[in-house]
Every structure is written in C-alpha cells, then in structure tokens.
Amino acid sequence: MPVPARRQRTGTLVYSISWLELAMGVRKTVKPFKYLQLPAEVRLMIKENIPDWDLRTHAALYLASPVTASLYDNTPDEFWKLVCWNSGIGLLPWEANKPDEEICWRDIALDCIRRDGFCKHPICGGRLLSYNREQMVHAESTGLIRPHEPACIRVNDEPDSDAKPKLTAHNIFEWIGFRPSTEVKDREFRLEYDAHLLPTAASQTERLVSHWDESGYDDELPFKNDPMDVDAREYLARHPLAARSFATSIPVESISFCYVNDYDLKDQHWEPDHGETVTVTDVLGILQRELRHELDRDELETFARNHRQCLYEHGWGAYLTLRRMRTLRDTFSFCRLSLLPHICNEEEVGPAFDFKQI
C-alpha cells in the first residue's frame, strides 16, 4: 500500500512531494506520482508556483526526470543564484575568485540537494534549509537587504554607529568539531576533511577511546558521544549545505575575529573576493589556521578553570590537563564552539566575533 504523501502549502497551491522524495531515493515504495502525465502547461504552472526560496523542491523537480528538467531549459542561471541566495547558500572560498561565467549556480543547487538535501543530522538537511530561510526573512525585515536581490552588505560596527544591525552567528558552529591533535600531528588536512559535524548520541555507541598515545600514557578514558569517534564523523566535504551556509544572520561581505577563548587573534579580518557573502567555510578556515597555537600556562589554567565540568566528564583533572593539553586544537576534544558578537573599539573593524567554547 502506498505511503500517503505529505502535503505542503505554497501560496494558494497545494502540491504533493511524494514524487520529490521518490526522485531523491528517499522513498522507494511509493508509486510514481502522476505529475509526469499532466499536460505540459499544467506542469509548467506548478513549477512556476514553487517559491523562489524552495531550493529543495526546485532541485528535486529538476532531478526527477528529463521531462521535468526541461521545464528549466529557458531558466537563466540567475534564477538558481536567487534560489540559493534566498536559502542562505553562497560560494566556497575557492569559487569566489572565479569569473561569473565560470560559476554555475544550477550545478551548485543540484549538488547541495543531491548530496545533502535529505541529511538526517539534526542541524543539516531540511532543518538547515528551514533555519537559513528564517534567517533570510529576518534579514529582509531589517531593510538592509532587498528581497530578490542577491547582494550582501558591509556593516559599520563602530561604537558611534546608531543604525548598526544586530548580527548573530549561524547556529551550526555549535555542532562543529575538528580532528584531534593525535590524528593531525604534523600533517595538513584540507578544511573539508578536518572540520566535521559533531555526531549525535544516536549515531554512536558508548565505548572506550584511547588517545594521546605519544604522551606515553596507555590508560583508556571513557567517552560518551565522543567527538573523536572516527566512524561517526560527518566531514564538511559531505555536507555542502552546511559548508555553503551564510555565517551570520544578515549576509555580510566582511568579518573580523578577535579572540579564541582568551587567545588574541590580533583582529583577523576576512573579506571574500568579489564582494561575496561570508560563509561557514570562510569562518572555519580562519579558525583552522589558529589551531596550532600552543597554549601557555596561563591559557591552560584559564581553560581548565572555565571548563572544569567538561574535563571532569571526560575523566580529566588538572594534572592531565596541564600534562597533555598543548594546543587550541586539543581544547576542541572537550567543548563545543560558539561565536559571540565582539564589541569593537575605535581601532577594530566590524562586524566582529569571538570564538568561545561552551
């Protein structure tokens, strides 16, 4: 018996998405939807009534069959750019310096949905698209960006600015981890194979994890929901939606970072090429370059004092912390990342954030 199709409302049009899920391979027991048997004019009418922010439906419709893909034959790439923009999706750093004619937004949109559109991670897939859309609606409500016009803003965050918007960081940063130092050592990993979505309890089994082998200790420490669980990691390379999401609640073309915990970054400033929007990948790239920083004794003591509970839950006391923890990367074995707005002084350029661990 076919599984009843869920239904969504788009303006005055109510349409079934069982065919969408079938096209993406999510449901394999549902009989093909009769959409393909409709007259071409009706199929086109349905396509035209799908909102220009519904990236997943447009992409899945395109991928469903050559018949549905043909509906987009005369659609310029600007349409796909707009759909991505409305969904809070931008370019990766190595794409931002390409000429416009070499960037295919249709391919970007299709790749995002084909590989990540139905991800089951609680911060990715459909939930991520919904969150991104809510952020874009909020950004449009501020009047700082215009609906249907992909153009990020340059925010003046100086203290005397009366109209500065309140920016918040994307909530996905709290779900990001990095490889432990024991894996990295002197190797260089590309960001997309270093940063990963933290696993959920459901994706792991509780087990003993041995690390810090080079320290000479052979004890095993109990970890639950271990961020070092290699089998449970979801590297950023497999999650284009997460990697391409705008980093802030209002899309901006530049951003600064001042501190990682108490470590001064000397006001690192990042500005993507060609005025593109700052994405999650841009921010994580800045942080990754700082992970080799060796913690001094004061920084270690401050971290141990502020994160006593995190260390205790992992079986670490003050002695192990001072003996084994060496770099900023080591701290990500215990605590999640958070980005907090930084109040700029007269010499700093905004918008600015601090990397904090929670």
Encode pLDDT of 267-297 as tens digits. Answer: 678 887 767 899 999 999 999 999 998 988 8
Encode pLDDT of 221-247 as tens digits. Answer: 333 344 455 556 899 999 999 999 999
Residue 224 has a CB neighbour count (10 Å cut-off) of 12
Place of tokens 């959920």: 200
Question: Considering the entire predicted model, what is its pTM?
Answer: 0.80
pLDDT at 176 over 90: yes
- Which one-letter amino acid corresponds to residue 110? L
The crossing angle, in degrees rounded to 10, of helices 105-116 and 77-86 is 50
Encode pLDDT of 314-326 as tens digits. Answer: 778 777 777 778 8
Residues 335 and 161 sit within 8 Å (Cβ to Cβ): no
- In the chain, where are the structural domains located? 7-126, 171-357
Encode pLDDT of 240-270 as tens digits. Answer: 999 999 999 999 988 888 888 778 887 678 8
Sort strands 255-260 and 263-270 into parallel, antiparallel or unpaired. antiparallel
Encode pLDDT of 23-64 as tens digits. Answer: 444 444 434 457 777 788 888 888 889 999 999 999 999 998
Q: Quote the pLDDT of residue 187.
A: 85
Two tokens at 76?
């310029």
